[in-house]
Amino acid sequence: MKPTLVVMAAGMASRYGSLKQIVPVGRGGEIILEYSVYDAIRAGFGRAVFIVKEDFLDEFKALQGQKMSRHIAVDYVCQRQADRVPADVRVPASRVKPWGTGHAVLCVKDVVKEPFCVINADDFYGFAAFDAVGRFLRDAPGSKPYRCCMAGFRAGNTLSEFGTVSRGVCSVGADGRLSHVTEYMTLAPSGDAIIDRDTGDVIPYDAPVSMNVWGFPAGILHEYERFFLEFLREKDLEKNEFYMQDAVNALMEEKSATVDILPVENRWHGVTYRGDLEPFRRALSAMDGYPEKLWD
């Protein structure tokens, strides 16, 4: 069974016309997510599912979905705040945004019935990440304890020379698998290591970090729903978010899932700061494996 690529693109509605997710980076005017879909096709993925905001759906289809749908099966899921929220949960009137990345993944529960890889729309991961996750998903069983995976980039390959970055730093257990993800918000190079300016913690350059490239069996979506309901009943609903890694950490703690870290040696690219754009374009133009225009 071919795995499915799930792209978290709900943030594009608020950024369209600005930098970051929609700025052209390719020689043919392609944006970052087009390279992710192109690499997923090369890695043997059979379908792409885009998570978007409802009021941006038609525009997204016209601007992006239609050209990619000529090369891979495409589906769309809208992330709405009310999705999967029980009627007896009282949501504060001040809460206007959806519930975070874990909720975004949960929104595909009725659409995705096969192993899937989740990514951000605004990160360039490279072919190796999709190839590694795709191979893992084709071989992993779908029953409990769930066999999951994540592409583990070296922390030093994910920095920006123009400012601090936020990263999920991975702790590795005695079995060589992921044991926990710790979020750091202000990582910057400091001599031979990386320092988090908020906490003062020092991170080795070769420490594996999560860039939100996760591989899951379809059955794990039932677990996401369980943890989301717990979140709704226990957290401050005015400002808290239900993150993907919250569910992953909880599953690992209760021994319901394992997560293999799949090493990725190439550099991650993104446009966190305006200064990142031109170095990224130069690096992309020098990479092998991409035609001048992706979809010709």
What are the tens digits of pLDDT across the range 29-59?
Answer: 899 999 999 999 999 999 999 998 888 888 8
Instruction: Give the whole-angstrom CA distance, residue 11 versus residue 120.
Output: 10
pLDDT at 96 over 80: no
Question: Under a CB-based contact definition with an 8 Å cutoff, are residues 127 and 119 in contact?
Answer: no
pLDDT in tens, 112-149: 999 999 999 989 999 999 999 999 999 888 778 999 99
Nearest to 142 by CA among 79, 215, 88: 215
Measured from the Cβ of residue 67, the count of other Cβ atoms closer than 10 Å reads 15
Q: What's the pLDDT tens digit per position in 209-260?
A: 999 999 999 999 999 999 988 888 888 787 888 888 889 989 999 999 999 9
In percent, the amount of the chain with pLDDT more than 70 equals 96
Residue 21 pLDDT greater than 80, yes or no: no
CA-CA distances (angstroms) from residue 265 to 207, 212, 268, 292?
A: 12, 16, 9, 24
pLDDT at 15 over 70: no
Reported confidence tier of residue 13, pLDDT bands at 50, 70, 90: very low
Domains contained in the chain, CATH given: 4-285 (3.90.550.10)
Q: What's the confidence (pLDDT) of residue 12?
A: 58
Are the C-beta atoms of residues 256 and 220 closer than 8 Å to each other?
A: no
pLDDT surpassing 50 at residue 194? yes
- CA dist 73 and 47 (Å) reads 5
